[in-house]
Each structure stands twice: as C-alpha cells, then as structure tokens.
Amino acid sequence: MTAVIDPTCALAAVSGADLLVPLVQGGTSTYANFDYAASAPALRQVTDRISQLLPYYASVHRGAGYASRISTECYEAARGSVARFLDAGDDQVVVFTRNTTDSLNLLAGCVPGDTVVLDIEHHANFLPWTARGRRVVRAAETVEETIRRVVAELCSKPAALLAVTGASNVTGEVLPLERLATIAHQCGARILVDAAQLAPHRRISLRENGIDYLAFSGHKLYAPFGAGVLVGRRDWLDAGQPYLAGGGAVRNVGVAEAEWAAAPQRHEAGSPNVLGAAAIAAACDAIAAIDPAELLAHERSLADRLRDGLCAIPGVSLVTIFTDSPDTVGIVAFTVDGYAPGQVAAYLSAEHAIGVRDGRFCAHPLLTRLGLDAALRASIGLGTTPADIDRLIHAVTTLVTHGPTWTYAPTAGHWNPTPETRPLTPDPLTGAAPCLIG
C-alpha cells in the first residue's frame, strides 16, 4: 500500500525546483524532473560551497599565494569528505577524475589480469576492460542463479577483478555487494563497484562490505561540476602506469626518464578540477547529514507510489532484470503499448513539462537480452515530491486514455513535437532573443 505523505515534501533543496518551462500548446508549467539518474540537480549546499570558494579559486598545489593555499587545502580536504562518506579503509586512496567512465578507464590500466563482468552493466563498466581480458557472465532471471554463474566463472580460471554495478542504471535493481565481495575474495579476485546509481540512494561502507574499488560521478550525486571519484586500494594504483603523463603526477623529471608520484597524485596530472572536487565533498557532507532511515523511507514511498500508479494504467509494463531483487533504488523503467518510448518522452516534455529519459541507456547488451529496442526511465531523487509522482502518473494515464493533443515525429534520431513552438535556445543571462525551431 502506498504511503500517504505530504504532497509538497522534498527531502532536500535542489537547483531548478521552481523552474518554469514552456509548453508546446502555450503557457508554462513547473518542471518535473524525473531524470536524476542521468544528471542530478545541484544541492543547495553544493552551490553554496562553490559560491564561497569562487573568490579564492586559484592554482592548486603550485602557488604560494593565499588564494592558492585556500584552493589547495579545499581540494585535499575534499578527499577526506569522500573517504568518510564511503567509510574507506586506511589503505584506500581517493582519486579525483572526470566521472565514473573516466574512473573505470583509469582502473582498467592498473588491473594485473582478467576482469569478470555481467552483461547487465552500463557501458562505463563494460567497455573499459576489453583490452585487459574481459570475461562476460550472462545474468540469469534471478539474482541467485546469476551469483552461481559468477562463482562458476571465477572458479574456472583465475581473475584479478570482479566488476559489478551497485544498482542498475536501467531498472535500479541492487546486487548483494557484500556477498559478491566475499565470493570474489574467496576466488582470489578483488571487487570493483560502479556506484554511479547506488551512491545517490544508499550509504555504502567500503569496510563493512569488503569493497576494494568504487567509482561514482559527481553529476549523479547532486554535484554537477565535472568531477568524479575512484576510491580503492593503493597497491594497484601505485603500480599502474599513470593515467595521464604530465605535471603533478611526478616527483622528478629528467631528459630520459621520470620518477612518478604515488597515488592519488600519480593519476591526477595537470591542473585539477578544484571546484568539482569541492562540489563532490559538499554533496557527500550534505547527504551524510541526512538520516539514512529517513532517506530510505522517502525514496521507497515515492518509488512505490510511482510503480503502483504505472502498474494500474492499461498497456503500461514495468521493466525488470530479476524476479528476486533484494532491493531497488528510485529508478523505474517502463514501456507503453502502442507508443515508441521516444514519442512518450517527447509528449511528457512538450505537453506536461515532465522530463524522463528514453532509449537504451548506454546499456545495449542488457536491453537486447530483455528483448527491447528502447524503454522509458523515470528516476527520482532528493528533490522529488509525491505531487511530481502524481503528475507523471496522470500524464501517462491521459496519453493512454485520450492520446496526445499534439503531433510528434522522429527527426534526426529523436522524437520531437511538430511544429515545435517552444524556444529551445534561450539565453537568460544576456536576455538575447531565443531561436525558435520550427
């Protein structure tokens, strides 16, 4: 039974919560963001931290000026915030990257052997391991059978790493990480968790779960300032080739050779993204301050409300991987009979000011095994309210019952309203006239 909670309730203040967007039929509406899984809006604490730091923004690690010292201290302190947020071990280091994809490509260059992955992974945790010996396990219809297949593969011949998603970016289904870590270690492998979709929804303890490496993106953790994180055991990171060759990654450089620094500096050549690191730290601190039980209750009440509402609409089907998932974060994938996912997404945006994602979600092998060319994904977060959920359910119900009021057609690979009456290139900073696409 769906919980009854305050229809105006959001768990945290996020940027864009009161954003007004135009409707194709005329007028405006407050934007309902259901695309948190792609890029989450900035938390207020994040934008406040960046505003405070901007006057002091300067060269990091390379300047004696006061602003440079402040920037350097802020950048290095951000590692501590991330380490505390993830309960990292003493032998684990925090490396700042651009995003999860960047983090996993970095680690792929340090793994001394084969990597075992599932076929349900996002491309970020599927493609980087190819050159180093990727072994793919096909997931089963149940988590239990999938785990048995993983065990069989790890036992078949030695592997250095088991790389798994923390939560599916398509369906939100969560794997039992502590159990998988134990299995990996018993088979002589380490475990990497792609936590891009898990970290925004669940607190993760690297120590308690036995996780050796973990990666996530700032832009999915309410810190959209172009930074990501790789946290993991030092030995592989110290022994691996520097991810980038350049200043900051070395202790000394001669004409013929270079003496590389230890991790994390070894993999952070060039001027680092201090604002991105500070944003991630602020997000970690803000989320850590929320009672985990409150966060879980908020998300589950909204997700249950959304799933129940969609299931009650004729022709709407939810998409899942397993029949026995132990947990699911606030991501719901679905299809609508008679409509292409892109058409539904365009309709929701144009006529209802609702943003969802459609497509294959950079998880092509998974969509293929599910027998789908594409699907819709509605993802919720700290700024989502029950009223948002009800708007989405009402809009999908209206589509199924009455159809769209506008016409839509695929152009350049994307569905769009025809004609498009909304200004799509406004410049609110300069006040320049928007370009209308007709």
**pTM of the shown model:** 0.94
pLDDT at 156: 97
Residue 204 pLDDT grade (very low, low, confident, very high; cuts 50, 70, 90)? very high
* Residue-wise DSSP of 263-328: TTGGG--SS--HHHHHHHHHHHHHHHTS-HHHHHHHHHHHHHHHHHHHHTSTTEEEE-S-SS-SEE
Cis peptide before 292 (omega within 30 of 0): no
**Residues pairing with 318 in the sheet:** 334
> Three-state DSSP class for 378?
strand
Sign of the alpha-carbon torsion through 179, 193, 358, 129: negative
The predicted model gives 181-196 an average pLDDT of: 98
pLDDT tens, 371-422?
999 999 999 999 999 999 999 999 999 999 999 999 999 998 899 999 999 9
pLDDT over threshold 90, residue 227: yes
Residue 430 pLDDT grade (very low, low, confident, very high; cuts 50, 70, 90)? low
pLDDT tens, 76-96?
999 999 999 999 999 999 999
pLDDT tens, 278-301?
999 999 999 999 999 999 999 999
Task: List, by residue number, the catalytic residues.
Answer: 362
> Three-state DSSP class for 171?
coil
d(CA 52, CA 282): 12
The predicted model gives 34-56 an average pLDDT of: 97
pLDDT tens, 358-371?
999 999 999 999 99
